[in-house]
Structure 1
């Protein structure tokens, strides 16, 4: 029994009454028939129960805290890896987009090259055809006019064709360049 000013405990010597206010103790030897061995075992049992009641939750809390720290580290690594992955993907996407832009620019330049080359070659061909046509068909005035027109414009057109073929060396394959140059020779 406990009261506010009295503490009662069991010891090997008997029952101990301690006054909490004056700290005096009184030991009553009660012969309850408990042996020394029984009292030691009871004490060890109570001590074990008390320690396990405090130590097991403490140990479990430490294990949980350690697992939580490890999980935070793993999560931080995953987040960092995801950021690196996203950064790589973004860089790859930028490189892909830049590659597409370059290819589109090259394609546009090739289209312009072919348009300019086609226009110059068609004009050169039409000037040549006019001279041939009016030579075969008896119209001397038109023949002389077409010959003069061919003579004035053909050199400029040949220059334009050569310039376009020179530009082509940066935009088309070597095989195509060889074909273009063989046309001029």
Structure 2
């Protein structure tokens, strides 16, 4: 890309600015490129160092959405909010509470199983101390396998718990937005 192409693309990207501001910015970049060429640097390298004209324009043009006043929908009145809350509560009790409690119960069960598997090597040590068994090597490796499986399950369940927590929070926020009439 040469200097003319760079400045043309930059000019197009700076359209939201006034003519005076755009010309001033273009003059500054043109001067920067000219000075670099006078110093003996290749024009293409200077333009590459400056970056994309679109990216430069994004940084220089103020965001229009920030300057425009936000359009707000009128808030619901108290009666509408109470009706919405009652309807959402009934729907949540009928359709959401049962599956949510079921998922929570399964999660707690898996956590208990993972903890039980994780302590199996400790139980093996206790078993060796109090009784001697002929299948000691088999039980040793089984306890290591179950302990490893338990630890891996604990890690997976930790991440699953964080996911379930974030999904629950998003669902609660969504319900609150429905009740209050906030924009989604």
Which entry has the higher C-alpha Rg, 1 or 2? 1
The structure where strand makes up a greater share of residues is: 1
Q: What TM-score does the superposition give when structure 2 sets the normalisation length?
A: 0.37
The structure where helix makes up a greater share of residues is: 2
Q: What TM-score does the superposition give when structure 1 sets the normalisation length?
A: 0.37
More relative contact order in 1 or in 2 (CA 8 Å, sep 6+)?
2
